[in-house]
Amino acid sequence: MYSICTAGHVNHGKTSLVKELTGVNTDRLKEEKKRGLSIEIGFAKYPLSKNLYASIIDTPGHESFVRNMISGAHAVDLVILVVAANEGIKPQTIEHLNILRLLSINEIILVITKTDLVDKKTIDKLRNELDGFLSKNIKNFNILELSIKNKTGIENLKKIILEKYNLTKKDFSKPARLSIDRVFSIEGKGTIITGTLIGSKITKDSCLEITPDFKEIKIKGLESFNTKMEEINPGSRASINIQNMDISDIKKGEIVSEKGFIVRSKLIYINLKKINEIKNNSEISFHTGTQKSIGSIKHIKNSSVAKIYLRNKISFLVGDKFIIRNNNGTVGGGEIIFHEEVIDENKLTNFQPNDFNIFSIILDQMNVLSINQTKKYLGKNIKYLQNFVKKHKEFYLFNGNSYITKTEYLKIEAKKLYEDVKIYHKKFPLRNGIPISKLNERVEKNILIETLVKNNFISIKDGFIQKQSFTPQPSANDLQLINRYILYIESNNFMPPTDNKLSSEIMTYLINNNFIIKCSNNVFYTQKVYEKLKKEVLIIQSKFKKINIDLIRDNLGLSRKYCLAILDKLEEEKIVSRTKN
């Protein structure tokens, strides 16, 4: 659904215009009707064509209710900026236009109302003034004249609204969410929250959570403009009937969103656009969505980036627009680009905020991010993130598109791993390599190994990482020790001495390469002697149709220690199965 917002100075005819377009008086409060003044934002359903509707959000024009105007304008496709012909440009006309510009809203229809109160010369003069006023600040705008009293200009306005709608391109890269602008209870239904849905559509089966506790909500029903809905599209007014929460659990200003996107913090980094000077470390009023918090601002040297310290935590999505106000009114605005978990301020000098640069800074510090973590750092859905990474060779997706890293980081880490393998071989020349199980559990471990194997730097053999074509190689001194040891344990045939062994490093090498066979009781045989002994034991088993310690001792003349050692080994290899008698 298309979302339209009204803006402009108090009593310039916004609410009357909405009523003319929709038949709805959006001033619903007693005080509003009594004073003839909009205080809260109001809502109406506007028919674009026979089966096509838009949401109109009518915002207050009085200076005292600018916060409500910001709440209404934060997530719209089009703004109707109203200027009364008999009063012209007034303070809130200027402030509202500045707010729209700072919120990056560039589709504006400026409507000169109450044209029945002035002559054509006055209207033409005002029109020229407004054209110059808008052309400095807004990309796409139309100016038209209208009189509700005389019923002129209404059809032209409807035509331009439809033209604007037909040119709209929706951005579906962000999650479904809404900033809560009303919380109430209806007897028989329970808790109701309302807001303008942005991002993506929701259904009764959508998995949504609500801040500040990030509790999952159970949706009992959905409505839009008092009509029950199976699904609600972005841009629509959304009314969500919540089954598992009371109104005391929910506050206006909080956010309902798809899981895993919303950040809650007191410290944020922003890309700041200023319309007036904002002193460093000065107190500010920070507005985003339907939330407001007092805080202070610190400018980053030689950068459009600033750091905001807030008194209270706010909930937001990275990429959200904001407005800054102080005693001078609206002084700045822009976009939230980082939250407190990730930032190296040294990299913010001359920083140009965009998805690529923001993501680069995050990965420089985090090295590897899961796709679910990345949602919070960029405020975008998984489909967008995966496509974004695939378009940029500087980034790399791995583990079934579940993790992201920098391609350069991957190269550096792969080189480090290869160097580690070479160092390991040098330090332990008799070992097969680094056991894979010994590597730390970094998620990029597998992709580093895969990269090196693919480029023929390393190979994997029996669970060990080794240089390509590596073979354990004893030194000349080691060979002398090995030869002496082999002769030593072969000196007594089936009962080798057990009182002398080589270093654990050499023994492991000999065992791993089957030069010696390790049995129980600290008994080691050479491969040749072991095969010979095994053959003798199998002959005994064949002859007596069984095998045990006594049979081996009686037939081979071995002590119990060696009988037990060979039987244990042969049973381990499932070659024999001993009997008791």
pLDDT tens column, 428-439: 999 999 999 888
- Residue 430 vs residues 40, 318, 423, 434: alpha-carbon distances, Å: 79, 53, 13, 12
Is it the case that residue 73 has pLDDT exceeding 60?
Answer: no
Q: What percent of the chain has pLDDT over 70?
A: 94
pLDDT one-digit tens code per residue, 373-421: 999 999 999 999 999 999 999 999 988 888 999 999 999 999 999 999 9
pTM of structure: 0.79
Task: Give the torsion sign (CA, 194, 199, 201, 205).
Answer: negative
Task: Give the pLDDT confidence score for residue 65 in this predicted structure.
Answer: 39
Classify the C-alpha dihedral 26-31-36-38 as positive or negative: negative
Strand order in the sheet with 78-84: 42-49, 52-58, 2-8, 78-84, 107-113, 140-145
At residue 199's C-alpha, the angle toward residues 197 and 205, to 5°, is 70
- Of the candidates 436, 427, 430, 428, which has an alpha carbon nearest to the alpha carbon of residue 458? 436
For the chain, the maximum distance between any two Cα atoms, rounded to a whole number of angstroms, is: 130
Tell me what pLDDT residue 577 has. 92
Neighbour count for residue 395 (Cβ, 10 Å): 21
Q: What pLDDT is stored for residue 28 in this prediction?
A: 54
10 in helix, strand or coil?
Answer: coil
- Coil, strand, or helix at residue 242? strand
Q: Is the pLDDT of residue 269 over 50?
A: yes
User: 140 falls in which pLDDT band (50, 70, 90)?
Assistant: confident
Tens-digit pLDDT profile for residues 12-70: 888 899 889 988 886 654 444 444 444 467 888 899 887 888 888 887 644 543 555 56
**What pLDDT is attached to residue 34?**
41
CA distance 480 to 157: 99
Q: Is 174 exposed, middle or buried (0-12, 13-18, 19+ CB in 10 A)?
A: buried
Say if residue 436 is exposed, middle or buried (CB neighbours under 10 Å; 0-12, 13-18, 19+): middle
Q: What CA–CA distance (Å, rounded) separates 127 from 562?
A: 110
The predicted structure's pLDDT at residue 171: 79
DSSP string for residues in 51-82: TEEEEEEEPP-SGGGHHHHHHHHTT-SEEEEE
112-151 exposure pattern, b = at least 16 Cβ within 10 A, e = fewer: bbbbeebeeeeeeebbeebeebbeeebeebbbbbbbbeee
- Which of 216, 302, 287 lies closest to 257 in space, CA to CA? 216
Assigned token pair, 264: 């809650």
For residue 466, what are the β-bridge partners?
459
Q: Report helix, strand and coil shares of the chain as percent, to nearest 5.
A: 35, 30, 35
Per-residue model confidence as pLDDT tens digits over 457-511: 999 998 999 999 899 989 999 999 999 999 999 988 999 998 878 999 999 999 9
Q: What is the mean pLDDT of residues 159-179?
A: 88
Q: How far is CA 88 from CA 112, 128, 247, 249, in A?
A: 8, 11, 43, 45
Query: Considering the chain, what is the average pLDDT of its residues?
Result: 89
C-alpha dist (Å) from residue 176 to 144, 255, 258, 301, 389: 34, 11, 6, 36, 22
pLDDT of 36 reads: 44
Cα–Cα distance measured from residue 129 to residue 136, given in angstroms and rounded to the nearest whole number: 12
What was the pLDDT predicted at 69? Answer: 52
Contact 340, 330 (CB under 8 A): no
pLDDT score of 64: 45
Mapped onto helix, strand or coil, the DSSP state of residue 87 is: coil
Residue type at position 277: E
Q: How many Cα atoms within 13 Å fall on the side-chain side of residue 427?
A: 8
Residues 6+ apart with CB under 8 A from 394: 356, 360, 406, 407, 408
**Higher-confidence residue: 75 or 546?**
546
Angle at 362 between CA 262 and CA 345, to 5 degrees: 105
**pLDDT value of residue 399:** 86
- The CA distances from residue 375 to 144, 257, 370, 404, in Å, are 42, 12, 9, 12
Q: What is the reported pLDDT for 235?
A: 84
